[in-house]
Amino acid sequence: MRRVHVSIEGRVQGVFFRAGCVERARELGLAGWVRNAIDGRVEAEFEGASEVVEQMVAWCREGPPHAHVDRVNVREDTLTGEEGFRVIR
């Protein structure tokens, strides 16, 4: 099991990044959250099996069709045992 905090930079707000992220994370059975940051980034935390977390991080590097991802920063975080995946504000 693994939990990561991800910060995504580029044209990632206003392009359904959060909605796409929620859909994909739920399909993969991950726990965590996603939100828009006030500086234009999208931030998320993903918790689950290591290989599945890697699949989600790979999705973040592409994003939904209208996104343009410039950079994805990933840092390891502490497991919380969180369940479900949601948008937070």
**Catalytic positions, please?**
18, 36
Give the number of residues written for the chain. 89
| Cα 22 to Cα 39: distance, rounded to the nearest angstrom | 21
Amino acid at 11: R
Q: What DSSP designation does 49 have?
A: -
